[in-house]
């Protein structure tokens, strides 16, 4: 069964450092997303991406965040200067079409120290 | 009013019981709805989409009431493996953003 894969599964970084979280969406999917979940809280939307551009973003997705699809398979989330409050589980998701079910990767647990 | 609201639970039920969860949403223009399941520290996994006419998948039945803006999930004959957090999820009209409820925790006991 096709699945969304994310690397690394866990990343520890020092405050102020840049991190790149990587995702390989399901191969025939055209819509890509990043969500995050702070421990004990609900899943929150960050950004959606379609046709090589951002189609929607939340207030959380400020200037320190960026997304990129550098090649035909990878989808990345970059956090330029990490803060302690960026510590969370980051989930990548993809869907085949608009108004279709989204499938989530297993997540990257980011810990900022 | 929260965009998507759920009773956090926990719902503690014995094996074999029937349990129902409700969820309310604030945007009356929302068109698509889903139930996801999340195990502790794992990713959300799609359980089922929710259609206007209601739909069933094995032991699971989902209903949508647009007039009252609520969605329900019914689980029959609960199994130990059903223990998880159930997330009510609403897709925006543009189809590019999911809004999650805080989840309802279910614990099925032997």
Inter-chain contacts counted by CB atoms under 8 A, chains A and B: 55
Confidence of residue A48 (pLDDT cuts 50, 70, 90): very high
Buried/exposed code over A22-42 (b: 16+ C-beta within 10 A; e: otherwise)? bbbbbeebebbbbbbbeeeeb
Contacts of B42 in chain A (CB under 8 A): 106-107
Contacts of B95 in chain A (CB under 8 A): 98-100
Answer whether A42 sits within 8 Å of B41, measured CB to CB. Answer: no
Angle at A90 between CA A84 and CA A93, to 5 degrees: 160
Of chain A, the percentage scoring pLDDT greater than 70 comes to 100
Q: What pLDDT is attached to residue A57?
A: 97
Q: Round the average pLDDT of chain A to a whole number and report it.
A: 95
Does the CB of A30 have a partner CB in chain B at under 8 Å?
no
Round to whole Å and give the CA distance between A6 and A73: 12
Residues A107/A5, Cβ–Cβ less than 8 Å: no
Q: How far is B44 from chain A (nearest CA, A)?
A: 6
Q: What is the pLDDT of residues A60-89, one digit of tens each?
A: 999 999 999 988 789 999 999 999 999 999
Summarize the confidence of residues A98-113 as an average pLDDT: 92
Q: What pLDDT is attached to residue B13?
A: 97
Answer whether A55 sits within 8 Å of B102, measured CB to CB. Answer: no
Q: What is the pLDDT of residues B36-62, one digit of tens each?
A: 999 998 999 999 999 888 899 999 999
Q: What pLDDT is attached to residue B52?
A: 83
Of B26, B102, B100, the C-alpha closest to B69 is B26
* Partner-chain residue, chosen from A50, A101, A104, that has the shortest CB–CB distance to B49: A101
Does the CB of A90 have a partner CB in chain B at under 8 Å?
no
Answer whether A99 sits within 8 Å of B95, measured CB to CB. Answer: yes
Task: Tell me how crowded residue B62 is: count the other CB atoms within 10 A of its CB.
Answer: 22
Residues B73/B80, Cβ–Cβ less than 8 Å: no
Best to test chain B binding among A104, A106, A110, A111 (most B CBs inside 10 Å): A104
pLDDT over 80 (residue B93): yes
Q: What is the pLDDT of residues A10-30, one digit of tens each?
A: 999 999 999 999 999 999 999
Q: Is A86 helix (H, G, I), strand (E, B) or coil?
A: helix
């Amino acid at each position: 069964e096709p699945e969304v894969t994310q690397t690394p599964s866990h990343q520890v970084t020092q405050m102020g450092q840049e991190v790149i979280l990587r995702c390989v969406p399901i191969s025939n999917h055209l819509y890509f997303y990043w969500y995050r979940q702070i421990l004990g809280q609900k899943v929150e939307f960050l950004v959606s991406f379609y046709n090589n551009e951002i189609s929607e973003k939340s207030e959380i997705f400020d200037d320190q965040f960026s997304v990129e699809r550098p090649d035909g398979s990878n989808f990345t989330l970059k956090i330029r200067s990490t803060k302690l409050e960026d510590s969370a589980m980051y989930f990548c998701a993809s869907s085949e079409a608009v108004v279709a079910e989204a499938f989530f990767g297993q997540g990257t647990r980011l810990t900022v120290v | 009013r929260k965009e998507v609201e759920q009773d956090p639970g926990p719902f503690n039920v014995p094996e074999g019981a029937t349990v129902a969860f409700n969820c309310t949403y604030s945007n009356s223009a929302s068109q698509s709805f889903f139930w996801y399941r999340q195990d502790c520290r794992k990713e959300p996994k799609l359980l089922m989409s929710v259609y206007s006419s209601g739909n069933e998948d094995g032991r699971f039945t989902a209903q949508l009431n647009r007039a009252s803006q609520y969605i329900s999930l019914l689980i029959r004959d609960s199994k130990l493996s059903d223990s998880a957090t159930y997330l009510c999820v609403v897709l925006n009209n543009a189809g590019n953003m999911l809004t999650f409820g805080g989840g309802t925790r279910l614990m099925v006991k032997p």
